[in-house]
Amino acid sequence: CVRSDTPSSVSRPIARDFHPIAQVFWLGKMLASSLRAKGCKGTTVARATAATTTTGGWTPRTTTRVAGSRAGGTSAKNGAWIRTSRRGASRNQTAMSVQLSQDELKKQAAWKAVEYVKSGMRVGLGTGSTAAFAVARVGELLSNGTLTDIVCVPTSVATQQQAESLGIPLATLDEVPKLDVAIDGADEVDPALNVVKGRGGALLREKMVEMASDSFVCIVDETKLVSGLGGSKLAMPVEIVQFCWKYNLERLRSLEEVAGCEAKLRMDGDAPYVTDNSNYIVDLYFEEPIKDSYAAAKAISALEGVVDHGLFLDMVTTCIIAGSDGVIVKEK
306 has which bridge partners? 240
102 has which bridge partners? none
Q: How confident is the model at residue 27 (pLDDT cuts 50, 70, 90)?
A: low
pLDDT of 151 strictly over 80: yes
Distance CA 248, CA 266 (A): 13
| Range of lowest pLDDT (59-63, 155-159, 226-230, 319-323) | 59-63
Q: Give yes or no for a contact between 115 and 146, defined as CB atoms under 8 angstroms apart.
A: no
Considering the entire predicted model, what is its pTM?
0.71
- Using alpha carbons, select from 197, 219, 205, 113 the residue that is nearest to residue 160: 205
Cα separation values, 12 from 1, 20, 27, 331, Å? 9, 17, 12, 73
Pairing of strands 306-309, 236-240: antiparallel
Distance CA 189, CA 229 (A): 7
- Using alpha carbons, select from 123, 120, 185, 110 the residue that is nearest to residue 154: 123
Question: Quick check: helix, strand or coil at residue 151?
Answer: strand
Give the model confidence (pLDDT) of 171-224 as tens digits.
Answer: 999 999 999 999 999 999 999 999 999 999 999 999 999 999 999 999 998 899
Distance CA 166, CA 139 (A): 5
- Using alpha carbons, select from 26, 31, 36 the residue that is nearest to residue 48: 31
Q: Which of 206, 250, 257, 262 is catalytic?
A: 206
What is the average pLDDT across 238-262? 97
- The amino acid at residue 7 is P
Question: Quick check: helix, strand or coil at residue 254?
Answer: helix
Give the model confidence (pLDDT) of 89-100 as tens digits.
Answer: 444 544 544 554
User: What is the pLDDT, as a whole number, of residue 265?
Assistant: 98
Distance CA 127, CA 156 (A): 6
Q: Give yes or no for a contact between 97 and 119, defined as CB atoms under 8 angstroms apart.
A: no
Q: Is 222 a catalytic residue?
A: no
Percentage with pLDDT > 70 across the chain: 70
**What kind and span of H or E run contains 162?**
helix 157-165
User: What is the pLDDT, as a whole number, of residue 1?
Assistant: 47
Describe the crossing of helices 129-143 and 157-165 by its angle, rounded to 10 degrees: 30
Distance CA 265, CA 249 (A): 8
CA atoms within 13 A on the CB side of 225: 11
User: What is the pLDDT, as a whole number, of residue 19?
Assistant: 52
- Using alpha carbons, select from 177, 170, 188 the residue that is nearest to residue 211: 177
Give the model confidence (pLDDT) of 210-229 as tens digits.
Answer: 999 999 999 998 899 999 99
For residue 286, the tally of other CB atoms under 10 A from its CB is 22
